[in-house]
Amino acid sequence: MKRAVFPGSFDPITLGHQDIINKGLRVFDEIIIGIGENSDKKYMFSAEKRFEFVSTTFDKIKKIDVKCYSGLTVDFCKENDAQFIIRGLRNPADFEFEKSIALTNREMTGIETVFFLTDSKNSFISSSIVRDLIKNKGDYKLFIPKGLSI
């Protein structure tokens, strides 16, 4: 069984995240969406609320499990018997940032990172843009999964 972890803060989940997860479903038998908790980060939404957003988005897909975690992603992968990490790429800057993390993770643990390119229609979407729209009462619903209530 090929099991992968898709880690992120999902603060909140966006159409870009959903796009990457849907691509991963075509490759992996199971995906664990790992909602990271970093005490150095300031989140707009609590871990419980982010868990709810992600769970609601994928509640009908049996190949997906949603869990919260803290600490290193590779430790979370080992705890969950995942051999792969999924990462999404929107642009060349994402690749350069993610490449060094992927190489470090592989060197430490042998866990491989698989990169998926976002569809061009989602390549500009980020959680920080969505948070800014929410704060300023913009139409953020254009950029989050359908049916999600924030």
| Domain membership of residue 75 as a residue range | 3-143
What would the mean pLDDT of 3-7 be, rounded to a whole number? Answer: 98
* 149: in domain: no
The verdict on whether 87 is a catalytic residue reads: no
Instruction: Select which of 3, 67, 90, 141 is catalytic.
Output: 90
* 150: in domain: no
* 97: in domain: yes
Residue 72 — pLDDT band, cuts 50, 70, 90?
very high
Dihedral Cα 78, 105, 10, 47, nearest 10 deg: 50
* 86: in domain: yes
The verdict on whether 17 is a catalytic residue reads: yes
**Rounded-to-integer distance, Cα 135 and Cα 77, Å:** 34
Residue 67 — pLDDT band, cuts 50, 70, 90?
very high
pLDDT at residue 149 tops 90 = no
* 25: in domain: yes
The verdict on whether 41 is a catalytic residue reads: yes
Give the pTM.
0.94
Domain count, the chain: 1
* 45: in domain: yes
| pLDDT of res. 40 | 82
Identify the CATH number of the domain in which residue 51 sits. 3.40.50.620
* 148: in domain: no
